[in-house]
Structure 1
Amino acid sequence: MVFHSPMTEQRGDRIAADLAAAGPASVADYACGWGELLLRILALVPQARGYGVDLSGRDLARGRANAAARGLADRVEFVEGRAGDHRRPADVVINCGAWQIFGTTAAEALAVLRPLVNPGGRLFFGIEYWETVPPPERLAHMWDNVTADRCELLPDLADHAVAAGFRPLRIETSTRSEWEDYESLETADSEEWLLANPGHPDAADVREHLDRKRSIWLRGHRDFFGFAMLTLGVPG
């Protein structure tokens, strides 16, 4: 898995190019994982410095290794910790798939993120949404205790961004193919392990987890749960 979100490399490269076009001097990625989008922007802007924060030491180690392999290690800092405790304003800010670290609603998160974007800067904001609100019988097959207010509709998310002081430069959503790649790749290593170790003491638990996850996807959120990617600007 290249990005820990449902997007192709082609889309990721185009987003990185869009964010790099203004020539940012600083790029911050909150809940960065291994910071793939962050590193692609830095590769396009030689004068920029990057900063990524995440709770996963394993993901950060992958990010540091990728940075070293691409000759970017001296221009990026990866910090293990809670993003809310390590805030630094930047010209480009990334918060993709982890808005909850900044608020209990998307509107709250966007309001917190707004001061972290320098004048004239950009926010890349990735967030789940309902393509259409699912009926109760589909909600019943999703995550435990999920309700219809788990997500919002795309127009409402755009309105929240405007209310927080941003202007939407681009609004795009993941395709079905991107979702299928994401869901399949997220479990591929575990499925391969299960095939190779059917008699392992942990096999039954792994099998149950994978079957549950697949059911949530195919019987639950498929065709209802979307992923939006908003490129947002602030005044200069």
Structure 2
Amino acid sequence: MDRQERSRLAHTHHPITAPLTDESVAAVLRRAVRHGNERVLHLGCGSGAWLLRALAAHLDLTADGVDPDPAALTEARIAAEHLGVIRRLGLHHKAPAEFTPPHPYDLVLCIGATPAFDTLAATLSAADHHLSPGGTLLLGTGYWQRPPDRAARESVGHDLVDLPTLTDHLTTAGWLPVHGHTSTRAELDDYEWSWSGALTEWALDHPAHPAATEATQAAAEHRTAWLRGYREAFGFVTLLLRRAE
């Protein structure tokens, strides 16, 4: 089982691949989509859950999604056809860092996809390249809620900073927060239980599958890393950012 397939299975019951409830996603999108006729780009769109919600809510909105996982894009296409929004959605099978935009966008989403660009600075640079003047970036990223111990740092596996330092980095780079959603403990816990639980459930429902044991092990390792590693230190914030003029 490759990483992409494991992620799809783990998000079976939580298609928003970030620790936000459906209500939080709707509230963030209401702030992000200001006019209803925007061109929207999601870098690392997965199965398209953010874009599908935006397209369903705004009949004049158009969108493009970029993701390296063809199976996730197929899921997005099927869902878009079911919702009747497929004509307003373009799907691109590419790594987010390799996407060449056909035109500028009014709103760019990058939710939990910073690792695809290696660094926060590279993520911001890519978003800036895709945005039209006056456009908005919706950035979702992790941060440290409290100083992490060694187990937390090893579990998360990439560099994070605290929220004030993250905000300082953004403003220094010329990005001003105009709205933000800080995921609650309940949102964070629900996401993690859903991730490991869905993978475990799939393995129990498919005991003869060659990847069942691997899936069970991956779920157990993830659950342990969360509960014994980063649970008390990790936070997630979704920020609406605009460039300083």
Same fold (TM over 0.5): yes
Partner of 1:155: 164
Shift of 1:87: 3.3
Q: Compared with structure 1, are the counterparts of its residues 99 and 24 closer, same or farther at alpha carbon in structure 2 (3 Å cutoff)?
A: farther
User: Counterpart amino acid of 1:26?
Assistant: R
* Structure 2 unaligned spans of 5+: 1-13
Partner of 1:90: 105
Q: Judge conservation of contact 1:97–1:126 (CA < 8 Å) in 2.
A: yes
* Cα distance in 2 between the residues matched to 1:203 and 1:71: 35
User: Equivalent of 1:207, from 193, 205, 216?
Assistant: 216
Q: Answer yes or no: is 1:68 the counterpart of 2:77.
A: no
Shift of 1:115: 2.9
Q: Which shifted more, 196-205 or 181-190?
A: 196-205
Partner of 1:127: 141
Partner of 1:79: 92
Q: Which shifted more, 58-67 or 20-29?
A: 20-29
* Cα distance in 1 between the residues matched to 2:208 and 2:36: 54
* Cα distance in 2 between the residues matched to 1:202 and 1:59: 19
* Number of positions where the alignment pairs a residue of Structure 1 with one of Structure 2: 230
What CA deviation, in whole Å up to 9, does each residue of 1:141-193 have, x standing for no partner? x25xx4xx721111122122222322111122211111122112223333223
Shift of 1:114: 1.9
Q: Answer yes or no: is 1:228 the counterpart of 2:242.
A: no
Q: Answer yes or no: is 1:165 the counterpart of 2:174.
A: yes
* Cα distance in 1 between the residues matched to 2:47 and 2:40: 14
Shift of 1:36: 1.3
Partner of 2:8: none
Q: Answer yes or no: is 1:177 the counterpart of 2:199.
A: no
* RMSD after superposition: 2.2
* Cα distance in 2 between the residues matched to 1:96 and 1:202: 28
Partner of 1:28: 41
Shift of 1:235: 5.5
Q: Compared with structure 1, are the counterparts of its residues 202 and 36 closer, same or farther at alpha carbon in structure 2 (3 Å cutoff)?
A: closer
What CA deviation, in whole Å up to 9, does each residue of 1:49-79 have, x standing for no partner? 1100001111111111111111100000111
What CA deviation, in whole Å up to 9, does each residue of 1:73-109 have, x standing for no partner? 000011111112213230010000011223x321332
Q: Judge conservation of contact 1:52–1:79 (CA < 8 Å) in 2.
A: yes
Q: Which shifted more, 27-36 or 81-90?
A: 81-90
Q: Compared with structure 1, are the counterparts of its residues 201 and 224 closer, same or farther at alpha carbon in structure 2 (3 Å cutoff)?
A: same
Q: Judge conservation of contact 1:114–1:164 (CA < 8 Å) in 2.
A: no
Secondary structure at the aligned position of 1:150 is classed as coil
Q: Judge conservation of contact 2:181–2:237 (CA < 8 Å) in 1.
A: yes
Identity %: 31
Secondary structure at the aligned position of 1:126 is classed as strand
Q: Compared with structure 1, are the counterparts of its residues 74 and 206 closer, same or farther at alpha carbon in structure 2 (3 Å cutoff)?
A: closer
Q: Judge conservation of contact 1:124–1:229 (CA < 8 Å) in 2.
A: yes
Secondary structure at the aligned position of 1:22 is classed as coil
* Cα distance in 1 between the residues matched to 2:33 and 2:211: 45
Secondary structure at the aligned position of 1:87 is classed as coil
Partner of 2:195: 186
User: Counterpart amino acid of 1:115?
Assistant: H
